[in-house]
């Protein structure tokens, strides 16, 4: 399994904690940045990870920002991406089992490093349950097809 990983300045320290966890557990990853707490724009980094996951080069992605909300919104604009904001282990497990989430997002200003490590552990250990959930994920894909590329508001 290969993980694509990125953060903006507001999630930089949390991303570094996730990197430590991945290294400690021998999990392959690529850090797409940012590499400091200097201000950057979160959509740029969310897009790098979303495109890497969509291409299949990476099976899963993890994104961090201040709240986890901005990177989730940006990543979910890419067809085929199901980014889930998780600040607890129940949501982390359910996002994989029920929604086949392929990107985990978390907020540095919301959770601490210990909880983040546990969320990542649970998220990576969980698998899509299929069954009735597959039908629902397929409906999400149909919505993407129907509205893909549409920017009208």
pTM (2 decimals)?
A: 0.95
Q: Is the sign of the CA dihedral 46, 49, 53, 59 positive or negative?
A: negative
Q: Give domain status of residue 71, yes or no.
A: yes
Which CATH number does the domain housing residue 43 bear?
Answer: 3.40.1400.10
> What total of structural domains would you count in the chain?
1
Show the DSSP H helices in 26-131 as ranges. Answer: 42-55, 69-75, 89-97, 113-125
133 carries an active-site annotation: no
Q: Give domain status of residue 153, yes or no.
A: no
pLDDT in tens, 72-127: 999 999 999 999 999 999 999 999 999 999 999 999 999 999 999 999 999 999 99
The residue from 30, 87, 98, 133 that is catalytic is 98
Q: Give domain status of residue 94, yes or no.
A: yes
Show the DSSP H helices in 56-148 as ranges. Answer: 69-75, 89-97, 113-125, 132-147
65 carries an active-site annotation: yes
**Which is nearest to 117 in space by CA: 10, 12, 18, 15?**
18
Q: Give domain status of residue 152, yes or no.
A: no
Residues making up the annotated binding site are 8-9, 66-70, 99, 109, 132, 136
Residues 6+ apart with CB under 8 A from 62: 3, 4, 5, 15, 18, 49, 103, 104, 105, 106, 120
The residue from 65, 86, 133, 150 that is catalytic is 65
Residues making up the annotated binding site for D-ribulose 5-phosphate are 8-9, 66-70, 99, 109, 132, 136
pLDDT in tens, 3-62: 999 999 999 999 999 999 999 999 999 999 999 999 999 999 999 999 999 999 999 999
Structural domain that includes position 78: 2-147
């Amino acid at each position: 399994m290969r993980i694509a990983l990125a953060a903006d300045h507001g999630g930089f320290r949390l991303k570094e904690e996730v990197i430590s966890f991945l290294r400690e557990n021998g999990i392959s990853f690529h850090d797409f940045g940012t590499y400091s707490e200097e201000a950057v724009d979160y959509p740029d980094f969310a897009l790098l990870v979303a495109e890497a996951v969509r291409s299949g080069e990476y099976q899963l992605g993890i994104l961090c920002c201040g709240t986890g909300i901005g990177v989730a919104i940006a990543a979910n604009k890419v067809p085929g991406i199901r980014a889930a904001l998780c600040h607890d282990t129940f949501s982390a497990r359910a996002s994989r089992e029920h929604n086949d989430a392929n990107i985990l997002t978390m907020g540095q200003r919301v959770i601490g490093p210990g909880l983040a490590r546990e969320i990542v552990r649970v998220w990576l250990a969980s698998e899509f349950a299929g069954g009735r959930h597959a039908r629902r994920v397929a409906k999400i894909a149909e919505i993407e097809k129907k509205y893909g590329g549409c920017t009208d508001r």
